[in-house]
Amino acid sequence: MAEITAQLVKELRDTTGVGMMDCKKALQETGGDMEAAIDWLRAKGLSKAAKKADRVAAEGLVAVVLRDDGKGMTGAVIELNAETDFVSRNDLFQAAARKVATAALDIEGADIQALNAATLPDGQTAGDMITQLIATIGENMMVRRSARFVVPEGAVAAYIHNATAPDLGRIGVLVALKSDGPHDRVQDIGRKVAMHIAATQPLALKTEEVDPAAVERERAIFAEQAAASGKPPAVVEKMIEGRIRKFYEEVVLLKQAFVMEPEVTVEAFVTKAGKDMGHAVEVTGFVRLALGEGVEKGPEADFAAEVASLTGAA
């Protein structure tokens, strides 16, 4: 019997796309015979996961999760993709999204590789759980994005738009707020801001955080429009600067008109809400994930047969 080395397990995983634990078991069951191990995985219905990997996964769920850390809070949001909207209503898929989001609470930054390698409470990694789910449900799946906020003193608020189930849906927003006020009241302020973000899609929290390339692109467009007016150069420059200010008001969160009270900015709303509560509140960050945004979708596939197999339809 061949020695079941880490390299042998890795080779089987690279060949089949199946999780490490299942690959190790397959090799143990077949005495280290690679071809037999592949057949063993196929017989178990696991190796088909690799065949799904080139199919576009732009549906699925965005999941949010919050954790109270005492004076502060931690919040995470992830996007778990699948091929069809049908899968987002599957209990196993929803449970997987929640598990991945919970694991993301302890992953720094947006490191998807580290998130896939994170160990879940049942001992398997998040990546292996997704691989097994692919084999069970029959669609390509992937953890596409994640984000996390850690607030030492204050709260993290979350909002799901178009919710499929509690804390799961098509758009997820996290808002980080610095404050020494009660978490629940600070979160209430943050949730209103999160709802605003879901609707307005701001590009940045503050003016200085807007991508310079985006500003220059807008400036070039405004310059061309202003020059066409035939006004003197000094007037044209003032017109450009005025339009740039308007651009910031449209894309910078704190400068945007608050959707629930359009006569005030988001910044003014938060300041007043904190004053009314008796504790200063400052928005320190936000993230908005919309399901499938930025995914280049190919021609629609016909998944009728797979849907029928899942529902038991003929």
pLDDT at 37: 85
CA atoms of 39 and 152, how far apart (whole Å): 51
CATH match of 59-201+278-293 with 3.30.479.20: yes
pLDDT digits (tens, 9 = 90+) for 33-81: 888 888 787 676 665 555 555 555 578 999 999 999 999 999 999 999 9
User: Mean pLDDT across the stretch 292-309?
Assistant: 49
Task: Judge whether residue 10 has pLDDT over 90.
Answer: no
Tell me the whole-structure pTM to 2 decimals: 0.75
pLDDT at 313: 40
Which CATH code, of 3.40.190.10, 1.10.10.10, 1.10.8.10, 1.10.287.990, is assigned to 6-51? 1.10.8.10
The CATH 3.30.479.20 domain(s) of the chain lie at 59-201+278-293
pLDDT digits (tens, 9 = 90+) for 78-109: 999 998 888 899 999 999 999 999 999 999 87
Q: Mark 97-136 as b/e (b = at least 16 C-beta within 10 Å).
A: bbbbbbbbbebeeeebebbbebeeeeebbbbbbbbbbbbe
Q: Closest Cα partner for 71 from 185, 180, 191, 150?
A: 180
pLDDT at 108: 87
pLDDT digits (tens, 9 = 90+) for 178-235: 999 999 999 999 999 999 999 999 999 999 999 998 888 888 888 887 778 778 888 8
Q: Closest Cα partner for 47 from 15, 93, 20?
A: 15
pLDDT digits (tens, 9 = 90+) for 140-190: 898 999 999 999 999 999 999 989 999 999 999 999 999 999 999 999 999
Task: Judge whether residue 308 has pLDDT over 50.
Answer: no
> Kindly report the CA angle at 112 between 20 and 162, in degrees rounded to 5?
115
In this prediction, residue 301 has a pLDDT band, given cuts at 50, 70 and 90, of: very low
Q: Is 40 left (phi over 0), alpha (psi -120 to 50) or beta?
A: alpha
Which CATH code, of 1.10.10, 2.40.360, 1.10.286, 3.40.50, is assigned to 211-251? 1.10.286
Task: Judge whether residue 309 has pLDDT over 50.
Answer: no
For the chain, the straight-line distance linking the first and the last C-alpha, in angstroms and rounded, comes to: 45
Task: Judge whether residue 270 has pLDDT over 90.
Answer: yes
